[in-house]
Structure 1
Amino acid sequence: MYRTVLLATDGSDDALGAAERAVDLAARYDAKLWACYVIETRTAYDNAIVEPETVERALLEEGEGALAAVAERAATEGIPLGGAIRRGVPYEELLEHARQEGADVIVVGRQGRSSFRAVVLGSTTDALVRLSPVPVLVVGEPSSPAGN
């Protein structure tokens, strides 16, 4: 059913849950597993407060850490992992990576690291679900209703 699974990761709790599901799918279907972390390029930083190189280095380290966590989970199941760190608009980069690797399914966490950024920039998960030509498996606990 699945020959190539693409995991979108940002190191968040939901992304870690998505990693478990992606590893399980790859093991079950003897599929290739890719993990992709995207450094968001639409967010600007005040150069008077933080140097862009410092931000870039921190985001690259965060991406490497997120991919390392996925690699650790995949290794426990004996699943080889291809990893990529891309730069750009997350959903655009993920869809392009899925196309390049011939992904049959994209696995993504329901909510990433920053709900504020999701409101301002739009939800990566939402865009993937709406625009992906392949199925998108969304992993994570639903939010509790407002006021609860």
Structure 2
Amino acid sequence: MYDRILVATDGSDNAQRASRQALDLARKYGAELHAVYVIETRTGYDNAIVDPDTVRQNLREDGEQALGDIETEGPPDVSVVTSIREGIPYEELLAYVEDREIDLVVVGAKGRSAFKTILLGSTTEELLRAGQVPVLVVDSTGG
């Protein structure tokens, strides 16, 4: 049913729950799991106060940690491919879906972003709107 599953992570609690769900699905279907962390390029801070290069490096380190956690948590029979991308999260994820012929995207209902909507995170909402691929949204209780 699924050959390639993408889990989008930002290291948040919801993303960690989504990662566990994605790992379970990958094991169940014998699918390759793609774990992607996107460094947000839209700035939500004052460039005169905070050095953008420092912020980008800190976010890259956060991404490496989040992706490393998924690799460590995954069972040995699940192939995990990791990627750190830069840009607008939903655009980068949709491009990855198309490039890698992803069959299913697993995301948390909300992430860490300061760009929030009332019911869902903006990235999750945009992925659902795109209708490019089925999207499994994991809520704060993990289901």
Is the pair's TM-score, using the shorter chain for normalization, greater than 0.5? yes
Q: 1:33 corresponds to which residue?
A: 33
* Partner secondary structure for residue 79 of structure 1: coil
The percentage of aligned residue pairs carrying the same residue is 50
Q: 1:117 corresponds to which residue?
A: 115
Q: CA RMSD in A?
A: 1.5
Cα pair 2:108 2:140 within 8 Å, conserved: no
CA deviations on 1:95-115 (whole Å, 9 max, x unpaired) are 11011111100000001014x
Structure 2: runs of 5+ lacking an equivalent = none
Superposed displacement of residue 78, structure 1: 2.9
Partner Cα separation in structure 2 for residue 103 and residue 132 of structure 1: 13
Partner Cα separation in structure 2 for residue 67 and residue 141 of structure 1: 20
TM-score between the two structures when normalised by the length of structure 2: 0.90
Structure 1: runs of 5+ lacking an equivalent = 143-148
Partner Cα separation in structure 1 for residue 60 and residue 16 of structure 2: 18
Superposed displacement of residue 77, structure 1: 4.7
Q: 2:55 corresponds to which residue?
A: 55
Alignment pair present for 1:91 and 2:90: yes
Give the length in aligned residue pairs: 138
4+ residue runs of structure 1 moved beyond 4 angstroms?
A: none
CA deviations on 1:101-148 (whole Å, 9 max, x unpaired) are 11100000001014x4224xx700000011031100000137xxxxxx
More helix, by proportion: 1
Superposed displacement of residue 82, structure 1: 0.4
* Partner secondary structure for residue 102 of structure 2: coil
Cα pair 1:9 1:37 within 8 Å, conserved: yes
Partner Cα separation in structure 2 for residue 73 and residue 6 of structure 1: 16
TM-score between the two structures when normalised by the length of structure 1: 0.87
CA deviations on 1:47-70 (whole Å, 9 max, x unpaired) are 331111111110100111110111
Partner Cα separation in structure 2 for residue 19 and residue 83 of structure 1: 12
**Which of the pair has more CA radius of gyration?**
1
